Structure 1
Amino acid sequence: MSDEAPDSLIPYDEIVQEALRAVVGRVLGSVEQSGGELPGGHHFYITFKTAASGVDIPSALRERFPDEMTIVLQNKFWDLSVNETGFSVGLSFNQIPSKLVIPFSAITAFVDPAVDFGLQFQAAIEDIAPTASDDAENDLTTAEGEPIAKSEDGSNVVTVDFGRKK
């Protein structure tokens, strides 16, 4: 017998990705129905491809994040609106209010660190080399104003392990 699995005529990967993105929609929909209130200590990191079809963000953010961007829904967000294909939300970047429209198909990661829950999705478009950027106003910081996590190069990056718990 061969160790290679036969090619499937059923697109299981696509079906699973679509179902997991529906989880994100259901979670965000429940937050929307509760008037935008997050229960307990829940908060979300949502990473998405900024150049994906259907993404609508201010041009300054698209220039600053030409490939991928992570937003944090925790304390300062408004006008969360969820439909079957995606969501829109108001966030402030450098004290400038902005509306973001993000289709679920553009999301590459969804994390709720309060309960150690995370989903990672296959990218919807080709990867583009990331560009360095300044800290956004909605980045999480400590009480002293320091970023919650810093990578070795000093940038404000949150690393999430999507592997199984040991």
Structure 2
Amino acid sequence: MAKTIDYGNLMHRAMCGMIQKVLDDVAANGLPGEHHFFITFDTMHPDVEIADWLSDRYPGDMTVVVQHWYDGLEVTDEGFSITLNFGESPEPLYIPYDAIRTFVDPSVEFGLRFESQHDTGGEDADDEETPTGKEPAAPDGPPAKGDADVVSLDSFRK
């Protein structure tokens, strides 16, 4: 019985740990400087908790923006809960780390992409709404510039 090092799983856990550490710091101290996050997650993940109307409207992926207004950010070892505004209507969300598909901080051109066997890859990102607190649209400029550092787990999988 040959043992192998599961680099893909190790990298996944490390990336989730980094997101947890960043969100822990934001929960304790707020967002520093121009930092803000675009977080895309799988709305059909069994542990995601969002309003029915949101899962109906976004039956695959959904991108949220943590920037100007958010409330109740609580971070655990498994995921985080946060309240965001959707058309000036606050909605609580719970997002487990395993449901996250991308985590981007465009202020420093940093991003992580989690890829899995069940990614469809065929959805049109232009149709996604990005709740941003008091502002109805995403911040000026693209969420992630073309030269952003994006780490993908695909390169570590067999």
TM-score interval for Structure 1 and Structure 2 normalised by the shorter chain: 0.7 to 0.9
Scaled by the length of structure 2, what TM-score is found?
0.79
User: Structure 1 residue aligned with 2:11, among 9, 16, 41?
Assistant: 16
Query: How far apart in 2 are the matches of 1:113 and 1:53?
Result: 29
Query: How far apart in 1 are the matches of 2:35 and 2:128?
Result: 26
Query: How far apart in 2 are the matches of 1:64 and 1:96?
Result: 15
User: Which structure is higher in helix share?
Assistant: 2
| Structure 1 segments of 4+ aligned residues over 6 angstroms from their partners | none
Query: How far apart in 2 are the matches of 1:121 and 1:159?
Result: 15
Residue matched to 1:118: 111
User: Structure 2 residue aligned with 1:32, among 9, 27, 34?
Assistant: 27
CA displacement, residues 22-60 of structure 1 (integer Å, 9 cap, x when unaligned):
1001000011111xx201111011111111121011111
Q: Please say if residues 111 and 118 of structure 1, whose CA atoms lie closer than 8 Å, have aligned partners that are also in contact.
A: yes
Query: How far apart in 1 are the matches of 2:74 and 2:54?
Result: 20
* RMSD across aligned positions (CA): 2.6
Query: How far apart in 1 are the matches of 2:52 and 2:147?
Result: 31
Which structure 2 residue ranges, 5 or more long, are not aligned?
Answer: 151-158
User: Structure 2 residue aligned with 1:58, among 42, 47, 51?
Assistant: 51
Scaled by the length of structure 1, what TM-score is found?
0.75
Query: How far apart in 1 are the matches of 2:80 and 2:147?
Result: 23
CA displacement, residues 53-96 of structure 1 (integer Å, 9 cap, x when unaligned):
21011111111111101110001111000000000000011121
Aligned residues: 144
Residue matched to 1:140: 138
Q: Which has the higher contact order (CA 8 A, sep 6+)?
A: 2
Which structure 1 residue ranges, 5 or more long, are not aligned?
Answer: 1-6, 143-147, 150-157
Q: Do structure 1's residue 87 and structure 2's residue 85 form an aligned pair?
A: no
Q: Please say if residues 27 and 75 of structure 2, whose CA atoms lie closer than 8 Å, have aligned partners that are also in contact.
A: yes
Q: Percent identity?
A: 33
Residue matched to 1:69: 62
**Match for 2:22: what amino acid?**
V
